[in-house]
Homo-oligomer: A and B are copies of this chain.
Amino acid sequence: MLPVLVVHGGAGTIPKELVEMYSEGVRVAVRAGFAILQEGRSAMDAVVEAVTLLENNPVYNAGCGSVLNEHGNVEMDALVMDGRTLANGAVSAVRRIANAAQLARLVMEKTSHVCLTGEGASKFARAMGVPEVPEESLITDRSRKRWEKNLAPGANPVENQMGSKGTVGAVAVDSEGNVACATSTGGMLNKMEGRVGDSACVGCGGYADNRVGAVSPTGHGEAIMKVTLSRLILFHMEQGKSAQEASDEALAYMWERVQGLAGVVVVDPRGGWAARFNSLQMAWAAAQGQQLHYGVYRGEDLIQPLQDPDHHQH
């Protein structure tokens, strides 16, 4: 069954007029990442490539297109983990870089630490030669309008946050059976300055272990953290559950304990995979063998041939 790549573009309620864009973007990303796996390259390379494309796509709440915090700034969290060694890297509340997941990978590979935050992360980025980008290049009209809407008198920021959880992520198994995950996000709309969500917190916003599998979640970060969702799913898989069973059990538990909505993409080291969510929607896509699976609504599992001439890689 190997290799396999599964990506998501956020769980929540996607505005109708954006559904096709959300779905198209994850398909483009999964094709590009899967091509890397087909070349025999690593699961880590594939998940970072897929997430980079999603960060660069202004539709999603990561990289360009990130939601704005209370002051109108973009602060991003990201995490990567390598199932071979359990090595992981993260950045939190980092500003003015285009690709937070790539920076998280540099933290993993080039430092003895696993997480750098804020200005320290920015300084590390400069030392690594990662270009600083103007904040404006990360901000879309849609992000700014939603931020302004929440500042208006009578606004209900909590309500307006629903549907905004377009965190992106990917999990993969490469042809050698190594698993990896990557997650990247602009966080929560109108969040407080310095707010760190699950996407920078290993075991919550992602986990990868060659012995068990890999998970990347999306959704209500604070709920995901309360149940350490990624690690929880892998514990169920260690107990013999399939990726799908483990995901459904953990999502149901999260709802029961803390009324949280979220979605996950999951792989096991043999190439089994799942894309599950208890939110209304999650844009996801999976590539394996000759097929591309994808969906947005619950129960949806559409299939295209990966080589479909109408769906060239962009």
Contact = CB atoms under 8 A, between A and B. Distances in A.
Contacts of A124: 192, 194
Given A112-B222, A201-B202, A123 B193 contact: yes
Interface string A88-121: 1010110000000000000000011111111111
Nearest to A70: B120
A72 to B, nearest CB: 14
Interface residues of A, number: 46
A203 interface: yes
Given A86-B226, A225-B202, A120 B193 contact: yes
Interface of A: 85-88, 90, 92-93, 111-121, 123-124, 158, 188, 191-197, 200-204, 207, 221-222, 225-228, 231-232, 235, 257-258
Given A93-B118, A203-B203, A88 B225 contact: yes
The copy count of this chain in the complex is 2
Contacts of A194: 116-121, 123-124
B117 A117 contact: yes
Contacts of A123: 193-194
Contacts of A258: 85-86
B203 A228 contact: yes
Contact of A227 (B86, B201, B225, B232): B86
Main secondary structure of the interface of A (DSSP, over half): mixed
A120 B94 CA distance: 12
A49 to B, nearest CB: 24
A249 B115 CA distance: 26
A37 to B, nearest CB: 24
Contacts of A112: 158, 222
A238 to B, nearest CB: 9
A110 to B, nearest CB: 11
Contacts of A118: 93, 117-120, 194
A85 B93 CA distance: 26
A192 B113 contact: yes
Nearest to A202: B225
A111 B192 contact: yes
Nearest to A229: B203
